Amino acid sequence: MPIYEFHCPRCQDEFEILVMRSDEKVNCPECDCKKVERLMSGFAHKSGSGGKMVSSNSGCASCSATSCASCH
Ligand SMILES: [Zn+2]
């Protein structure tokens, strides 16, 4: 079952809720705000270093190869 991560813009709380339907209405459990934002699954990790995500198997930004061996 899909568990989505939500962020409440009012109280800045982050919470995870099991959502049965994609259009299910979700309220913030802290302040009952109805305008919570659904975070993309796997997009943000609270335990991360805060740096931008870098794909480990991609080359530099200017080439589409999987490694920079052929472009430098
Ligand atoms: Zn809230």
* 6, pLDDT greater than 50: yes
**Residue 72 covered by a domain:** no
pLDDT of residue 44: 47
Our measurement of the distance from residue 64's CA atom to the centroid of its chain's CA atoms, rounded to an integer in Å, reads 24
pLDDT at 12: 96
Picking from 7, 1, 8, the residue whose alpha carbon sits closest to that of residue 46 is 7
15 CA distance to ligand 1 centroid (A)? 9
- Please write the tens of the pLDDT for every residue from 18-68: 888 878 889 999 999 999 999 876 544 555 445 555 555 555 666 666 666
Residue 66 resides in a domain: no
pTM: 0.52
State mean pLDDT over 9-13.
96
In a domain, 62, yes or no: no
At residue 52, the pLDDT reads 55
Domain count, the chain: 1
Closest Cα to residue 29, out of 13, 45, 42? 13
Residue that the structure tokens 């800045």 belong to? 12
| Domain housing 7 | 1-44
Question: What distance in angstroms lies between residue 14's CA and the mean position of ligand 1's atoms?
Answer: 8
Cα separation of 67 and 72, whole Å? 10
| 61 domain residue, yes or no | no
Residue 69 counted as domain residue: no
